Amino acid sequence: MFDKAEVHLGIAPIAWTNDDLPELGGENTFEQCVSEMALAGFTGSEVGNKYPKDTAVLKKALELRGIRIASAWFSSFLTTRPFEETAAAFIQHRDFLNAMGAKVIVVAEQGHSIQGMMDTPVFDAKPVFTEEEWKKLAEGLEKLGKLAQEKGMNIVYHHHMGTGVQTTAEIDKLMELTNPTLVYLLFDTGHLTFSGENPETVLKKYAARIKHVHLKDIRQAVLAKVKTEKMSFLQAVKAGVFTVPGDGMIDFAPLFAELGKHNYKGWFIVEAEQDPAVANPLEYAIKARQYIKEKTSL
Ligand SMILES: O=C1C[C@@H](O)[C@H](O)[C@@H](O)C1=O
Ligand SMILES: [Co+2]
* Residues 6+ positions from 87 with CB-CB distance below 8 Å: 143, 144, 147
Ligand 1 centroid–CA 65 distance in Å is 24
Q: Does ligand 1 come within 6 angstroms of the Cβ of 291?
A: no
pLDDT band at 189 (very low <50, low <70, confident <90, very high): very high
Q: Does ligand 1 come within 6 angstroms of the Cβ of 188?
A: yes
Q: Does ligand 1 come within 6 angstroms of the Cβ of 271?
A: yes
Q: Which of 207, 201, 198 is nearest to 260 (CA)?
A: 207
* Predicted structure pTM score: 0.99
d(CA 140, CA 157): 12
CB burial of residue 3 (10 Å; 0-12, 13-18, 19+): exposed
- Strands 44-45 and 7-11 come out as parallel
Instruction: Summarize pLDDT for 228-278 with one digit per residue, the tens.
Output: 999 999 999 999 999 999 999 999 999 999 999 999 999 999 999 999 999
Q: Which atom of ligand 1 is found nearest the CA of 190?
A: 11
Q: Does ligand 1 come within 6 angstroms of the Cβ of 242?
A: no
Instruction: Summarize pLDDT for 111-127 with one digit per residue, the tens.
Output: 999 999 999 999 999 99
Q: What is the third-level CATH fold of 7-296?
A: TIM Barrel (3.20.20)
